[in-house]
Structure formats: structure tokens, C-alpha cells
Chain A
Amino acid sequence: MSADTPKKEALFSAKNRRLLFNPLNKENPITVQVLGICSALAVTVKLEPAVVMAISVTLVTAFSNLSISLLRNTIPPRIRIIVQLVVIAMLVILVDEVLKAFYYDVSKQLSVFVGLIITNCIIMGRLEAFAMGNKPWPSFLDGIGNGVGYGWILIVVGLFREFFGSGTIWNFPVMEKLGVYNFGYKDNGLMILPPMALILVGVIIWIQRARNRELIEENK
């Protein structure tokens, strides 16, 4: 594959760095591209499943991007979508099997949401928009970038929900150690309930757009 270009591009050229870092903020898959929210928010009650989910999605995005990019010149366009789905589904099954074997507790908490990575629009979206037309290495970076861009939102939401909802961080009882319960503090049960995840993402979008004015939507 490297024979494609006569003068070899540096592994982390400016262009490749952009591929890696843009999705973290300006082209964030969740807050800007509005992709892949489906399988995301239900796993953010605690930090641990959120982190595991973030890592799983990053791996699946990166490697499906890589494999589709390697195959891109051989895939018949008519069965394109199904080939992509098969590659994604295979990677997701691998992730699921590994979780079941080595992180059984987390895999029980994530339940069906591991399977739902398959329909995570980020992955299909990146395959269609990027990997089908680019070389393997940039595609791989693009996959990592988008996976991490998706992951950090999950982790932030998970952190807030666990801290305020259960008073712990990564199952470590922070609130109890600080002794705030003695002053009559109570965990906010609302944080554990699903709707709070949406509201938190709304707030993240608000902050991000307030700092990055060009992302603001026109009032249509």
C-alpha cells in the first residue's frame, strides 16, 4: 500500500494529526455530527462501563476503518453495505466475546449495548465517508479520532452521573470519604435515571458552542 505515493508521507504529518484531533472537538461525532448517540447514553450511569464502552467503540471504529480501507478496491458496490455490516458485526462479536471472558461484570452491565455498537452510526458513517476513499493509515487514525471523540463525551457524562448520582468515582466512595453525608447531603437519585444523560449532553453542547461560536446553528 505504501507504494502508492512516491514520496512517503510522514506517519504523523499535519494532515494526519488533523484527522486524529479534529473529531475531538470541532467535528465531534456526538455533539456536532450527531452520530452514535443510540448505544451511548444508557451506559453512562457509572464511569467504568462508560470507559469500557468508549474503548470498545474506539477499537471497532479504528479496525473496521482499517479493514474496509484495505478492501476498498475489491468491494463490489452493490453489496457494499452488507460487507461493511459483516466486518463491523465481526469486530463487535470479538469485543463481546472478550468482554464476556475477561470482564464478565462489565459485560453484564452493558448487556445489549455491546451488540448495539453494530448500528452505531459513527462507524457506518466513517466507513462510508472516509474509509471507502482513503488509504489504510489515515483511515485508521480517523477511526481512532472519532472513537476517542465519542468516548470522551461518554466518560465526562459517566463521571458526572456517577459522582452526583452515587457519590463515587470508579466505585471509590469519594463523597463518603469527604464526609459530606454528615452535613445532610444526599445523593441525587435523578442523576441515575436515563433522562439526565440527555440533559447533560445538552449542557455539554451548550458549553462547547458557547466557546466555539462558528458551530452555532442558524435559527431556521
Chain B
Amino acid sequence: MYSNAYIFRYASIMVILVAAILTSVALVLKPYQEHNRRVEKISDILSAAGLEADASNAVEVYEQSIIEELAIDLSGEVVAIYKDGGLAQGEVRAFDIDVKVVMDEIAKGGKPLLPLFHMRAADNSEVFVIPVRGKGLWGPIWGNIALAPDYTTVIGVSFDHKGETPGLGAETNTTEFESQFLGKKILDESGNFTSIKVVKGGVANSSDVPLQHGVDAISGGTITSNGLSAMVEDCLKNYVPFIQKRKAL
């Protein structure tokens, strides 16, 4: 029979051995995994800005098309600028700001810095890409919204999610749904912030949401659609002071 001491020794050696193997593998593979995550983030930004790239050339395309990465505070001041591969002002690189942390801090009443990507689109026009993040039915949803140089008109979006119901909520990241956002406005005629709403039953039939501030919801994916509306509004409204300042120039 095996003594308790033997069992205990056996278990301890096993645990230490397994932990050592796993930790070393995790350390070796970590750079690759981080690279993948960066590429994914870059691809999302590029896709909102209407630039085509796949995993192999995403980094290259991004470096060619980025004009500057801005980190702005909630009052609309630019705190840090990153361009041409180095920090031109401030200490934060906007790309490294995690939108999830930003939204958590805003919910707690903190004053985090917001990332904004100023890029050159394929037709050489300028775009401003704003990353957004919120809650769907099952878990987080996130994406990017690209604005034209008038800071008002949406010229592209990309949304993504984890684990939404396939066929319903999951439709938020299909091109059909995303293309509805093109040409919608985030400011009304007098320049006040009016977010884009996802409208159930179709925006054309809605009496209280004007055509340029709404898109049609995905039928059946109500909660995901509501989550999406809330996400777009909650994230974009933080950028309003910045936008007003830029427009006043």
C-alpha cells in the first residue's frame, strides 16, 4: 500500500513539475500571442477605416496609413500624440490604451485618457477612428467607428463580439448590418451630440428617431441591439468635447 507521506510527496512533485512546464511554455509563447492580439486590434481599426488588409500585412498597412495616434482627456484636450514611430507629445501611446479599462474607469467616475486614431484612408482622405466597447446579451461587444474629417459623418464601422447567439445577435458583425451605419451622423444640424440608435422595427417606420441617426435592428437580437446602441452612445459621448473644440477651430 502507499503511505500518506508517499501520496503527499507524489502530489507535490507532480504539481511543481506541471506548473514549471506550463509556466515556461506560457512564457515562450506569450510574445506570439500578444502579436496576434495586436494584429487583431489593428485589423479591426483598419476594417472600420475601410482599408483592406489580412493578418500578414495588417501591421504594414497600419503603419503606412496612420497619421497620428491621439490620447485625449475628457475635457477634449489632446494629452499625447504618437506619430512616425515615436511619442511627439505626452507619455501615453493611444494604441496601448485598453478601452475596457477606460469604460470601467468612466463608470467609476474616473478621468481616463481616450484613444483616437487619425488615419489616411485608401482614397487619401482623412478618417478618425474611435474604438468602442459595451455589453451584449451574453458578454462584451466591441468595435471601431470611423468618422469623416467633419467629425460628424460615419464612414465605416466594424463590430465584433464573443459568444452571441449564432444567427441572431451574432449578425452584428456582418457587413450587411455594418454597412447601414455609412453616412449616418453623430451630431444634429445645430451641432449637438445625437448618437446613432439601433431601432427595432426599422428606422424608416420610427417616429422619434430621424433617418440619419438610426439603423435597423437585427430581428430577434433585441438585447444585443440595445447593447449596441448603448455602447455607441456611451463611448462616443466622451469624445464630444474634443469634437466641439475641433469643429470650433
Pair from one complex: yes
Residues of chain A touching chain B, judged by Cβ–Cβ distance below 8 Å, are: 74-79, 82-83, 86-87, 90, 93-94, 97-98, 100-102, 104-105, 111, 189, 192-194
**CA–CA, A27 to B21, complex, Å?**
34
Contact indicator A192/B29 (Cβ below 8 Å): no
A-B contact pairs, 17 of them (CB 8 A): A74-B10, A76-B2, A79-B10, A79-B11, A83-B14, A93-B22, A93-B25, A94-B25, A97-B25, A100-B32, A100-B33, A101-B29, A105-B55, A192-B166, A192-B167, A193-B166, A194-B166
Chain B residue at minimum C-beta to C-beta distance from A94: B25
Q: Interface SS of chain B: helix, strand, loop or mixed?
A: helix
Interface residues in B159-182 by Cβ distance below 8 A to A read: 162-163, 166-167
State whether the Cβ of B18 lies closer than 8 Å to any Cβ in chain A. Answer: yes
Contact indicator A97/B29 (Cβ below 8 Å): yes
Produce 1/0 per residue, B88-105, CB < 8 A to A: 000000000000000000
Cβ distance B157 to chain A, nearest Cβ, rounded Å = 20
State whether the Cβ of B40 lies closer than 8 Å to any Cβ in chain A. Answer: yes
Query: A residues within 8 A CB of B36?
Result: 100-101, 104
Cβ distance A44 to chain B, nearest Cβ, rounded Å = 13
Query: B residues within 8 A CB of A97?
Result: 25-26, 29, 33
State whether the Cβ of B7 lies closer than 8 Å to any Cβ in chain A. Answer: yes
**CA–CA, A104 to B29, complex, Å?**
12
Contact indicator B32/A102 (Cβ below 8 Å): yes
**CA–CA, A76 to B14, complex, Å?**
12
Known: A97-B26, A101-B32. A90 touches B21 (CB 8 A): yes
Contact indicator A193/B33 (Cβ below 8 Å): no
User: In the complex, how many residue pairs between chain A and chain B have their CB atoms under 8 Å apart?
Assistant: 56
Contact indicator A78/B14 (Cβ below 8 Å): no
Cβ distance B46 to chain A, nearest Cβ, rounded Å = 16
State whether the Cβ of B249 lies closer than 8 Å to any Cβ in chain A. Answer: no
Number of interface residues, chain B, beta carbon within 8 A = 23
Chain B residue at minimum C-beta to C-beta distance from A103: B36
Chain B residue at minimum C-beta to C-beta distance from A189: B167
Query: A residues within 8 A CB of B26?
Result: 97
Contact indicator A76/B25 (Cβ below 8 Å): no
**CA–CA, A75 to B162, complex, Å?**
40
Known: A97-B29, A98-B29, A193-B167. A86 touches B2 (CB 8 A): no
**CA–CA, A82 to B7, complex, Å?**
12
Contact indicator B2/A77 (Cβ below 8 Å): yes
Cβ distance B59 to chain A, nearest Cβ, rounded Å = 14
Cβ distance A50 to chain B, nearest Cβ, rounded Å = 16
**CA–CA, A38 to B33, complex, Å?**
27
Query: B residues within 8 A CB of A90?
Result: 18, 21-22
**CA–CA, A102 to B25, complex, Å?**
13
Chain A residue at minimum C-beta to C-beta distance from B26: A97
Contact indicator A78/B15 (Cβ below 8 Å): no
Interface residues in B2-61 by Cβ distance below 8 A to A read: 2, 6-7, 10-11, 14-15, 18, 21-22, 25-26, 29, 32-33, 36, 39-40, 55
Cβ distance A165 to chain B, nearest Cβ, rounded Å = 11
Residue of A75, A100, A193 ringed by the most chain B CB atoms within 10 A: A100
Contact indicator A104/B7 (Cβ below 8 Å): no
Contact indicator A101/B167 (Cβ below 8 Å): no
Contact indicator B14/A86 (Cβ below 8 Å): yes
**CA–CA, A143 to B32, complex, Å?**
30
A-B pairs, top 5 by smallest CB distance, nearest first, are A101-B32, A104-B36, A76-B2, A101-B29, A76-B7
Cβ distance A186 to chain B, nearest Cβ, rounded Å = 15
Contact indicator A101/B14 (Cβ below 8 Å): no
